[in-house]
C-alpha cells in the first residue's frame, strides 16, 4: 500500500512531536509515513529540527505569512496537512489552508486537539478555531477536526505530600484543586502520548474525512476520578468545586475537604483577563489564566462529554477503533507518583 505523505506544522511542539513519533512507529501498521516538517526559517536550523532530519524527516523552511507561492511549493505532493500551531499562529492557518487548496492537499487537519466545546460563545480559543474551520469549508478544502478531551497531564491534583508538584507548573495550575461544576460532569480525557497514535489512524481513515472526531475512550465523572487519585496516592485531596445553577444538573456534593467557588467567580476571572488583554496586557500568564478559566467553565457546563460530542456531529473513536488500547489514568498517575512522568510543555 502506498504511503500517505504528511506535512506537519509545529512538528517539534507539545502535540506535534507525539504525532511524529506515532507516524514513525515501526511497530504500527499506521506508522512509517512520508513526513515533511514545515518550519519557520528562524527555527529550521535548531537542534530539534536537526534531530528530525536524523530520523528521516524532510524539513522545509518557509514562512506561513510569506509569499503564497513558496508555501504552495512546500505542500506539493502532500496528501495530509496537520497543523499543531499555537494560539499565536491560529489565524495564519487560513493562509496555510489557501496554499493547501492550491497545492491539491487531500485532507487538512487544523490545530485543535483539545476539549469538546460549543463552536462559539464559551471559549475564546474555540471561537478562533471555528473561524478557521469555517474558512476551510469556504475553500472546499477536505478537512478533519480532531479533539481529544482534557489531557491527563493537565488534570493533576496538588497533594499534601507534594509528590505531584514537579509536574504541576505554576503557569498551568492554580494552587487550588478546582473541580468544574459539582464534580458529576463527565469529562473526556487522554494521555498526551496517545494523541499521536489516534491521529495516525484518523488521518488515514476515509470515514473521518470532513468530520469532527473525539479521540478518547476514557470519560469518568470528575468525582470518580478524584476518588481514583485518592485511592492510588493514599492521600485525601482538598477540592474546590466551581458550581452555580447556570451549570446544568448541578447538585452540590459536600465532603469533609470541601470548599466552593461560584461560576460567577470564574466568570469574573474571565472578564478580568479579557479586560487586561484588551488594554494591551497580553503576557503569557494572562493568556493562560483566561484559557484555563474558560476550560473550567466549559467542563462545568458538561460540554466535554461523548454525548455532547455526538450531539455536535462528532464521530467517536470508541466506535471507530474499538481495538485501541489507551493508556489508563491509573497508569499515568502511578508514573507521576513514582517521579517518572513528564510535565507538559517541558521540552
Helix axes 222-233, 329-337, angle to 10 degrees: 40
Helices in 106-207 by DSSP H: which ranges? 124-138, 192-202
Active-site choice (26, 129, 239, 264): 129
Cell 517518572 belongs to 340
Distance CA 217, CA 148 (A): 9
Residue 137 catalytic? no
**The C-alpha cell of 198 is what?**
489516534
Distance CA 155, CA 164 (A): 11
Please, how many CA atoms are within 13 Å of residue 81, restricted to the half-sphere of its CB? 32
Q: Which residues contact 317 (CB under 8 A, 6 or more apart)?
A: 198, 202, 213, 214, 215, 216, 217, 324
On the 0-12 / 13-18 / 19+ scale of CB atoms within 10 A, 274 is middle
Ordered DSSP codes for 214-257: E--SB--BHHHHHHHHHHHH-----EEEEE-TTSTT------TT
Distance CA 101, CA 15 (A): 24
Answer whether 109's CB lies under 8 Å from 143's CB. Answer: yes
> How many C-beta atoms lie closer than 10 Å to residue 41's C-beta?
11
- Give catalytic residues, as residue numbers: 129
Amino acid at each position: 500500500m502506498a504511503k500517505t505523505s504528511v506535512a506537519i506544522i509545529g512538528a517539534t511542539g507539545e502535540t506535534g512531536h507525539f504525532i511524529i513519533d506515532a507516524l514513525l512507529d515501526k511497530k504500527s501498521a499506521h506508522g512509517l509515513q512520508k513526513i515533511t516538517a514545515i518550519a519557520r526559517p528562524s527555527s529550521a536550523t535548531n537542534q530539534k529540527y536537526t534531530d528530525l532530519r536524523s530520523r528521516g524527516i524532510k524539513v522545509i523552511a518557509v514562512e506561513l505569512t510569506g509569499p503564497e507561492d513558496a508555501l504552495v511549493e512546500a505542500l506539493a505532493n502532500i496528501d495530509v496537512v496537520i497543523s499543531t500551531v499555537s494560539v499565536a499562529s491560529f489565524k495564519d492557518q487560513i493562509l496555510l489552508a489557501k496554499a493547501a487548496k492550491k497545492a491539491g492537499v487531500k485532507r487538512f487537519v487544523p490545530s485543535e486537539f483539545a476539549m469538546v466545546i460549543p463552536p462559539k460563545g464559551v471559549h475564546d480559543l474555540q471561537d478562533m478555531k471555528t473561524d478557521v474551520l469555517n474558512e476551510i469549508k469556504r475553500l472546499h478544502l477536505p478537512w478533519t477536526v480532531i479533539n481529544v478531551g482534557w489531557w491527563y497531564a493537565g488534570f493533576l491534583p496538588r497533594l499534601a505530600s507534594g509528590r505531584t508538584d514537579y509536574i504541576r507548573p505554576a503557569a498551568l495550575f492554580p494552587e487550588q484543586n478546582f473541580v468544574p461544576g459539582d464534580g458529576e460532569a463527565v469529562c473526556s480525557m487522554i494521555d498526551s502520548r496517545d494523541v499521536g497514535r489516534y491521529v495516525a489512524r484518523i488521518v488515514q481513515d476515509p470515514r473521518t474525512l470532513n468530520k469532527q472526531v473525539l479521540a478518547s475512550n476514557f470519560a469518568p465523572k470528575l468525582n470518580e476520578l478524584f476518588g481514583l487519585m485518592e485511592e492510588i496516592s493514599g492521600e485525601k485531596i482538598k477540592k474546590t468545586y466551581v458550581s452555580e445553577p447556570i451549570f446544568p444538573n448541578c447538585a452540590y456534593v459536600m465532603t469533609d475537604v470541601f470548599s466552593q467557588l461560584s461560576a460567577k467567580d470564574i466568570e469574573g476571572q474571565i472578564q478580568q483577563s479579557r479586560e487586561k488583554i484588551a488594554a494591551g496586557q497580553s503576557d503569557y500568564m494572562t493568556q493562560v489564566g483566561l484559557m484555563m478559566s474558560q476550560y473550567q467553565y466549559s467542563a462545568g457546563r458538561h460540554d466535554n462529554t461523548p454525548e455532547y460530542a455526538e450531539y455536535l456531529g462528532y464521530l467517536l473513536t470508541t466506535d471507530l477503533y474499538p481495538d485501541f488500547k489507551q493508556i489508563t489514568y491509573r497508569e499515568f498517575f502511578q508514573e507521576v507518583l513514582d517521579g517518572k512522568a513528564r510535565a507538559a510543555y517541558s521540552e
